[in-house]
Structure 1
C-alpha cells in the first residue's frame, strides 16, 4: 500500500501506530499506557490540551486568566455540547473534572494534583480552580490526557472514534475523524472537509511497526523508547525519518525490596556507584544522551542548585573499589548474597542494558539475573517521561503513596510541607531536602534522561518533537491551507 501524497484529502486514512501491546489502546487503567493516552487526548478534551509542539492550547476552555498571586485559575468554557448533545456547563464540567482527579488518587499523577485546593462552578460557563500554592506549570499538568472530561461516558472530541481493523496490515485499532468546528461550539471554518483527513490509529509491537513503516504501509510510528531503538539500524528505515524528543524524566533502577543485601542504604549506594553511566549511551549509538546520578534532572523549577552530581572527582574505578569493599564486608559477616533479580521489559535496547548492568555489578562482586517486567524483583527498571519540568514531579513519582518500591517517608513529609509553603525560596529548599533524603536512601538509582523517538514519513504534518514526547493526533488530521 503506497503512502499518500505529501498533502491532500484522499480516501486513505493516515496510518499511525503507537508502539505497545495492541490491546493497550483500549486500557481503562488509571495509569494509562502511551497508546491509550494518545487516544484519550484525541477523543476526550480537558479544559486545556496540547498543540503539536507540546504547548498548552485551548480545549473545552477557550480562554482563562490567572490571578496575580498564582493561586486561582479561572476558565471560560466554550459554547459547546457534550457527546450526548447536552450543553457544556460549569456544573457538568466541574463534576467531570472532579471525577477525573479522583480517578488518579494513589497514582503518581494524583500526587501532582494534590496542589489543587478546590474546583468551583461559577456563573454561566465559568470554572475556578484554586491552588494551595502557586504552580508555574499547572496548565501543563491540567492538559494531561488523564484529565480529559467525560460526561455521560463520552468525551467532547475533538475527534470521533470507532473501532476499525486493517486486515491487510493485521492491525486492530480505531478510525478517528475530526469533528467540525461548528459542532464543537466553535466558529465554522470554510473548506473544513477539504482540509481535514481521517486517521487510523493502532498499537503494535515495535518489530512489526518498524517493518510496516519501512515498507511504506504506515505513515507514523510513535512511542519509541530505549528498549527498541537498536531495531531501527536493521529495519531499513532511513535515519532521516527518526525524530528524537528532548525529554526529561526518570530512567534508572528502583529498589523494590529492602531486605538481605539491599537492607542497607550503603549497599544500595554500592550498586549505584558501580554503574558506568557514560558507557550506557554507547550501547545503542545514541549521541547527546544526558547521563545523571541525581534523582531530579538538573535545572528544573524547584531545583535551587544545592544538590550536585554524586561522587564528583572519583573515577569509576575508585567508586567500584569502594563498592567492592562494602560487598566484601557484608559477605565477611557471614550474610548471604543471592543474585539480584532485575526486572525490565523486552527489547534489544534493554537486552544490551541488562548486559551492561550485569557486567557493572560483576565488577563489584555481585551476580544478577533478569526477570520479566511484571515479575517479583529486587531492582526494577523505571522509564518515565516528566509531565512538567519541576522538581515536584520527580519527587512525587518516588513517593511512598505512588511507588511500590523502597521509599523515604521523611522525603514525603518534606514534599507535603513544600506544598503548603508560599515562599518560593523556602519551597525550593524543602524540595532540595527531600531530594537529599531520597539520595541518602538510595531507593532509586538514576542512569540519565529517558529516550523517546518517533518515525515520520513525508505525508505527515502537525508533528513536532517536544519535551513531553506527547504528539496529539488532531493536528495530524488538519492539512495546511
Structure 2
C-alpha cells in the first residue's frame, strides 16, 4: 500500500504545463543499478545499463526506431558461403578518447563478449566458430552452419563494444554519474560538427528508477520518457491518470506463459498439465489489463523459420466451457485416485500490482475446475513459473528453447540437432518436429504476448512501437545518428 500511496495522491492533483521542447530529454529506465557499462563485455544487463551500453557503445549493428537492423560500427556487410560467413566493413568511427576504431579492437571485444559464460545470449551464439580480422577495417564471422538471425543478435546491447575512453556512440558521455547526461557523438564525416556545441534538446539523461517513481516523474512533467514497463506495473499507469496519448503499448513478440517447473503430483502427466492450460480464460485475462493486449494459445506466434504453421493443442477445437468441463473431469479422476484431496499448485511470479491481478485471475480460473493454486515469490521453488521474455530475434529455436525449461529430453535433443543443422530446410523440419512435440508434452502453457509499455512525451516524435520492445535513444526526436 505504501508503494501506491504517492500515485493515488498524485492522481488527484491538477495537471501541469507541457514540458518544454528546448531542454534535454529525460529518460526513466525502469530497473535497478546505475546506467553504466558492464565490468566485463557480455555481462547480463538490467535495462538502465542496457540502454546506456547501446547508446554509448554500439555493436557492429544496432536497431532503428522500428526495431530493424541498421549500421553501427559496421557501415555495410555481406553474407556468403550459404550463410556460413558474414563479412563486415567497419565505418570510419572513433572511440570515446578520439582514437580510430580498428578491426583488431572490435574482434577482441566481440570475442570477450561471446566467450563470457554469463552472457545471456551465449546459448544463441553457439554457431559462431571464430571472429577474425581480415584487414584493419574488415571483420569476418565464420559459422558452423547457417544463422539467418545473426544480425539481430549482434544488435543486442550485450554485444555492444566499448573501447578506449568509452564506446563509439551514437552518444558520448557529457556528464557522468548515477543519472548520466549524454550528447550526440562526433561524426568524422561532418567537417564542421566539432565546432558546434549540441543544442540542449539533443542531450539525453538516463535515470534508473522503480516504475512508481518513473511514472510520478513523468506525470509531474519532470521527464519525457518512461521505458521498460511490463504487466507487473501496468495498473500504476491508470492509478496515476496518465493521459492516454502518452501511453504506448508495443506489439511485442516473445513468451508470456507458465513453464512447468516440477513434473510431480498432479503435473506428472501431460493430460493433467493440459487440464491447467484448458482452465484459463485468456481473453478475460488480457482484457483485465488492456483491450489490445494480444492473447496467445501457441508457443510460436508465427511459423518463423519452422517449415509449418505453429503447432496447435487439440483443445483449441472446443469452446471454453467444453475445455473446462474436460479439465474438471481430469481433476475429478485425480481426486478419486488420491483420497479425495484436491490438487494444489504454486505459481512463481514477480511482485507488483499487475502480478497480483494476474495471480487473482489464474487462481480463480484454476479453482473453477477444482485446482487450488497460490502465488509465490519468483525465487521460490514452485510447480509453475511465469515466463515473461521478449524474443531477441525471430527464430522458432529461441521460443522453443526458452519454453523447454524443463521439457522431455527427446525434445531438447531435437532442438540441439536443429542448432547444428547444415541447411535451413533441415533446421526448419527439426524445429517443426520440436514444436509439435512440445505441444504434446505440455511443458509450457502460453497465455499472451509480452506486455511492454512506455510513457512518451509528444515531443518524442520518432518513437515507434515495435515487436522487440526496444527503443534506441538516438531515434526519439532526431539529433544523434
* TM-score normalised over the length of structure 1: 0.87
> Matches of residues 330-479 of structure 1 in structure 2 within 5 Å?
330-334=334-338, 339-399=344-404, 405-476=405-476, 478-479=478-479
Q: Aligned in 2, Cα 1:299/1:188: closer, same or farther, shift over 3 Å?
A: farther
Deviation at 1:114, TM superposition (A): 1.7
Question: What is the aligned length?
Answer: 461
Q: Give yes or no for contact 1:25–1:173 (8 Å, CA) kept in 2.
A: no
Deviation at 1:164, TM superposition (A): 5.8
For 2:232, the equivalent position in structure 1 comes to 227
> Matches of residues 55-454 of structure 1 in structure 2 within 5 Å?
55-67=68-80, 69-83=82-96, 86-103=99-116, 107=120, 109-151=121-163, 154-161=166-173, 172-182=178-188, 186-188=189-191, 190=193, 193-194=197-198, 197-284=202-289, 286-302=290-306, 304-305=308-309, 307-334=311-338, 339-399=344-404, 405-454=405-454
User: Which deviations, in whole Å up to 9, do the C-alpha atoms of 1:155-200 show, x marking residues without a partner?
Assistant: 33332337767xxxxxx52222222213xxx444658534562211
Q: Give yes or no for contact 2:307–2:425 (8 Å, CA) kept in 1.
A: no
Q: Give yes or no for contact 2:58–2:170 (8 Å, CA) kept in 1.
A: yes
For 2:13, the equivalent position in structure 1 comes to none
Q: CA separation in 2, counterparts of 1:24 and 1:371? A: 30
For 1:168, the equivalent position in structure 2 comes to none
Q: Give yes or no for contact 2:89–2:137 (8 Å, CA) kept in 1.
A: yes
- 3-state SS, counterpart of residue 222 of structure 1: strand
User: Which deviations, in whole Å up to 9, do the C-alpha atoms of 1:447-479 show, x marking residues without a partner?
Assistant: 021111111112324422111111111334744
Q: CA separation in 1, counterparts of 2:175 and 2:198? A: 24
Deviation at 1:86, TM superposition (A): 5.0
Q: CA separation in 2, counterparts of 1:344 and 1:330? A: 26
- 3-state SS, counterpart of residue 467 of structure 1: coil
Q: CA separation in 2, counterparts of 1:218 and 1:22? A: 19
User: Which deviations, in whole Å up to 9, do the C-alpha atoms of 1:268-295 show, x marking residues without a partner?
Assistant: 22111111111112112x2233222211
Q: CA separation in 1, counterparts of 2:116 and 2:252? A: 26
Q: CA separation in 1, counterparts of 2:18 and 2:191? A: 30
For 1:20, the equivalent position in structure 2 comes to 31
- 3-state SS, counterpart of residue 340 of structure 1: strand
- Higher mean alpha-carbon deviation, 83-92 vs 248-257, is at 83-92
Q: Aligned in 2, Cα 1:371/1:451: closer, same or farther, shift over 3 Å?
A: same
- 3-state SS, counterpart of residue 212 of structure 2: helix
Q: CA separation in 2, counterparts of 1:347 and 1:18? A: 17
For 2:12, the equivalent position in structure 1 comes to none
- Higher mean alpha-carbon deviation, 318-327 vs 336-345, is at 336-345
Q: CA separation in 2, counterparts of 1:224 and 1:142? A: 24
Q: Aligned in 2, Cα 1:17/1:230: closer, same or farther, shift over 3 Å?
A: same
Question: Could you list the runs of 5+ residues in structure 1 that have no partner in the other structure?
Answer: 166-171, 400-404
Q: Give yes or no for contact 2:96–2:172 (8 Å, CA) kept in 1.
A: no
- Higher mean alpha-carbon deviation, 370-379 vs 337-346, is at 337-346
Q: Give yes or no for contact 1:295–1:446 (8 Å, CA) kept in 2.
A: yes
Q: Aligned in 2, Cα 1:303/1:253: closer, same or farther, shift over 3 Å?
A: farther
Q: Give yes or no for contact 1:3–1:217 (8 Å, CA) kept in 2.
A: no
For 1:169, the equivalent position in structure 2 comes to none
- 3-state SS, counterpart of residue 255 of structure 2: strand
Q: Give yes or no for contact 1:303–1:390 (8 Å, CA) kept in 2.
A: no
Q: Aligned in 2, Cα 1:5/1:153: closer, same or farther, shift over 3 Å?
A: closer
For 1:37, the equivalent position in structure 2 comes to 50
Q: CA separation in 1, counterparts of 2:354 and 2:29? A: 18
Q: Aligned in 2, Cα 1:90/1:21: closer, same or farther, shift over 3 Å?
A: closer
* TM-score normalised over the length of structure 2: 0.87
Q: CA separation in 2, counterparts of 1:362 and 1:4? A: 48
Q: Aligned in 2, Cα 1:281/1:316: closer, same or farther, shift over 3 Å?
A: same
- Higher mean alpha-carbon deviation, 130-139 vs 209-218, is at 130-139
Question: Could you list the runs of 5+ residues in structure 2 that have no partner in the other structure?
Answer: 1-15
